[in-house]
Amino acid sequence: MIRKCLFPAAGYGTRFLPATKSMPKEMLPIVNKPLIQYGVEEARDAGLQHMAIVTGRGKRALEDHFDISYELEHQIRGTDKENFLNGTRELMDTCTFSYTRQVEMKGLGHAILSGRSLIGDEPFAVVLADDLCLNLDGDGVLTQMIKLYKQFRCSIVAIQEVPMDQTSKYGIIAGEQIREGIYRVNSMVEKPQPEDAPSNLAIIGRYILTADIFDLIEDTEPGKGGEIQITDALMKQAQNGCVLAYKFQGTRFDCGGAEGYIAATNFCYESLYKQGL
């Protein structure tokens, strides 16, 4: 079964400069919790215990976040402030964290390939932490996708409908709907202009990938933007076998930019923080 979750987290976060000049974008807080922690919690809630994080230069804060801070913890011991660390502590107690560095930034496909030594030869999940996905009324998005994986045993991408003028921000799929909200992918294009987009179904930052994806990425030439795209490797997988696209239940915030970040902050403040969640 799926045990591991890969977090590509080496990107520069240029849309958030200067905040991300010396701080990883995955450490940006949504109210009082960094984005990476929301992602790890979603993975843990889906039953995944091994977090594999692909970092890069200047990303040390990510490793420190999931580690003990002796001085701080000593200072607040016995006060009610200790409770603020309970959530992080629980993750550290129930999950393992392993790290590798992506030395050169050559695209999301390349970032995922950089995590191969942490994953090995088994299916795994991928979370792009700046896509914050919440489903307060039911299962988290990864939980939904893992349920689907158990039935189909193939790679799955999460999708949502976007306005046609936004297709150039996403990988776009087209496919045959096999069940309500589930498509068998037959076309996949990275960031097409609206006139070239096969549909308005956009891939968002949640994937389940079977291990053969690594060899497919190795054989993938640089594509859009001169980068090695996971979308191109997945297209090959779809041609050789099967890739599903899944319209998930819940809300997704693009926290890599100001608008989505503010929307996520307002939503989490009202629906989680104020409720003491």
Binding-site ranges for ligand G1P (CB under 6 A): 108, 128, 131, 170-171, 190, 202-205, 229, 231
Residue 37 or residue 229: which is nearer to ligand G1P going by CB?
A: 229
Strand ranges in 104-195 using DSSP code E only, listed in sequence order = 124-127, 131-134, 155-161, 171-179, 182-190
DSSP 175-199: EEEEETTEEEEEEEEES--GGG-S-
- The answer to whether the beta carbons of residues 243 and 157 sit under 8 Å apart is yes
Q: What is the smallest separation between the CB atom of 55 and ligand G1P, expressed in angstroms?
A: 16
Q: What is the smallest separation between the CB atom of 54 and ligand G1P, expressed in angstroms?
A: 13
Q: What is the smallest separation between the CB atom of 110 and ligand G1P, expressed in angstroms?
A: 11
CA triple 112-117-122, angle to 5 deg: 80
Residue 40 or residue 203: which is nearer to ligand G1P going by CB?
A: 203
Residue type at position 59 = K
Q: What is the smallest separation between the CB atom of 96 and ligand G1P, expressed in angstroms?
A: 26
Report d(CA 188, CA 82) in Å as an integer: 47
Helices (H) and strands (E) in the chain, counts: 10, 13
- Nearest to 128, CA basis, from 154, 149, 157, 106: 157
Residue 11 or residue 91: which is nearer to ligand G1P going by CB?
A: 11
Residue 57 or residue 169: which is nearer to ligand G1P going by CB?
A: 169
Q: What is the smallest separation between the CB atom of 47 and ligand G1P, expressed in angstroms?
A: 23
Residue 91 or residue 132: which is nearer to ligand G1P going by CB?
A: 132
Report d(CA 146, CA 29) in Å as an integer: 27
Which element (helix H / strand E) includes 209? strand 201-209
Torsion, Cα 132 135 140 146, to 10 degrees, reads: -100
Residue 26 or residue 131: which is nearer to ligand G1P going by CB?
A: 131
Residue 26 or residue 91: which is nearer to ligand G1P going by CB?
A: 26
Q: What is the smallest separation between the CB atom of 230 and ligand G1P, expressed in angstroms?
A: 6
Q: What is the smallest separation between the CB atom of 133 and ligand G1P, expressed in angstroms?
A: 10
Closest CB to ligand G1P: residue number = 171
Residue 9 or residue 48: which is nearer to ligand G1P going by CB?
A: 9
Tokens, residue 178: 């096999």
Report d(CA 93, CA 19) in Å as an integer: 30
- Nearest to 209, CA basis, from 239, 179, 231, 225: 231
Q: What is the smallest separation between the CB atom of 256 and ligand G1P, expressed in angstroms?
A: 7
